[in-house]
Structure 1
Amino acid sequence: MGTRKYVSSTRADTAAQTRTRILDSGQRLFVEQGYSSTTLRQIADSAGVAIQTVYAAGSKASLMTAILQRAFIGDEKFVSLIERPEFVAIMTDEDTDRALSRYVDFVVGANARIADLHHAAVLAADSDRSIGEEIERSELRRLDDIHTGSVWFVHRRLIGAGEVAEFADVLSYLTSPQTYRYFAVDRAWSREHFTRWLRASIDSHLTTPDA
């Protein structure tokens, strides 16, 4: 019985590692050469697996969807951002100014990882409806997280209770992958420059006397 469990666990680990290689290769190729120009054969060759293994992992659209989910939330299993331990640790920091700086660093780091992939997915959505739908779902989850998380700013006396909706709209724009990509990629701002700008922009929308 113990041997069978060990073999089963080993096979599961191997399958997970193989899928990770496939998703990693797909992400790199989608960003480097575009979704439409990337083939499953290229993904297989890059991942070092048989083409049949990639077919078993899913269609090209489903792979892009899985890659997007993993990039947005850290893995393929959805967990709200505001419930993830690393984010909770930031929001429970007793020093509000330090918490804001940690939050900005977190957002910039996340967008640095996903901005190019998000751009590739937006372009792919023109030819694949399922990818467009996944982008829309991801954006709705992001907006919901931001709106819920904006209550933290009320608790820290940084905005008024009646300002949550408008502040969440502003914050969703400032922290979006598109905003990061415009400044950091299109306008070639350094990460440090963008980080300072983002913190200053958030600070400028804090309205209570304690802000």
Structure 2
Amino acid sequence: MSEPLYVSPLRARQAAATRRMVIDTAARLFATQGYGPTSLRQIAQTAGVSLETVRAQGRKRSLLASSVRVLSFGRDVDEPVLAAPEADDLRKASTPDEFALEAARLLTGLASRTVGVWRAFVSAAADDPEVDAELSQVQASVRANVGSAVDMLSARGWLRSDIEPDELAVSLWLLVSIENYDKLTGRLGWSTRRYEVWLTRALSDLLFR
């Protein structure tokens, strides 16, 4: 029987740091110039690594999804939002109004960090079926997170009873979409603070009133 392959902790840390640098670079380029004009070669040149190093991180379309995850919470992993350390105050909310306030704060920060890459993602998905499939997976993860939040609110007895939870989950998914953040801040010129105040009120009206 062959011996298990040993990977040194130092080499693992170096590989993780290189991957993070590549993803951070890709995210900046996607956000500033879009998906199409951004090549793997340009990502490599900007990051100061070889083209082979960038290719080792996956296809260009997969770097879009990784960019969204890294910009969201700084980690290139699929994790439930409610389980993330950044959602600690949200989980500890003791009233519906406190939940709406903390949710709006968390989601506004997330949207402000990811809006540029998300815009590139949606635009590329319209013309590329493979990118669209990648986007569908990310959207499915968002819907799952929204459904978990609705389930949590229902278990606490806070959720309004005049609308079915499934419909509330769909409405919540639409409400918190990054596209809405982009429209209100990018198109209407709202400040991030104004968006956060609006979202706090909108979450309360949708879920609890």
TM range (shorter): 0.7 to 0.9
1:60 alignment partner in structure 2: 60
Highest RCO, 1 vs 2 (Cα 8 Å, sep ≥ 6): 2
C-alpha change, 1:206 and 1:121, in structure 2 (3 Å) is closer
Name the CA distance, whole Å, in 2 between partners of 1:17 and 1:206: 41
Paired residue secondary structure (2:179): helix
> For residues 10 and 145 of structure 1, do their structure 2 counterparts lie closer, same or farther at Cα, with a shift above 3 Å needed?
same
Amino acid at match of 2:169: A
**Partner letter of residue 195 of structure 2?**
F
| 1:73 and 1:81 in contact (8 A); partners too | no
TM-score by length of 2: 0.86
Determine what percentage of the aligned residue pairs are the same residue.
28
Superposition CA RMSD, Å: 2.2
Deviation above 4 Å: which 4+ runs of structure 1? none
Which amino acid in structure 1 is aligned with residue 161 of structure 2?
G
- 1:105·1:195 contact (CA, 8 Å) conserved in 2? yes
- Tell me: CA distance 1:37–1:204, structure 2 relative to 1, closer, same or farther (3 Å): same
Distance in 1, matches of 2:105 and 2:157, equals 19
Q: Which amino acid aligns with 1:119?
A: R
Q: Please say if residues 40 and 51 of structure 2, whose CA atoms lie closer than 8 Å, have aligned partners that are also in contact.
A: yes
Output the CA distance in 2 between the equivalents of 1:182 and 1:66: 23
Q: Does 1:135 align with 2:156?
A: no
Superposition pairs of residues 55-204 of structure 1, within 5 angstroms:
55-72=55-72, 74-154=74-154, 155-160=156-161, 163-204=164-205
Residues 157 and 50 of structure 1: is their aligned pair in 2 closer, same or farther, counting only changes over 3 Å?
closer
Secondary structure of the 1:205 match is helix
Q: Does structure 1 residue 33 correspond to structure 2 residue 33? A: yes
How far the C-alpha of 1:147 sits from its partner, in A, is: 1.9
What runs of 5+ residues in structure 1 fail to find an aligned partner? Answer: none
SS at match of 2:206: coil
Number of residue equivalences: 203
Distance 2:206 2:60 in 1: 42
Q: Which amino acid aligns with 2:121?
A: A
TM-score (norm 1): 0.85
Kept in 2: contact 1:126–1:132 (CA 8 A): yes
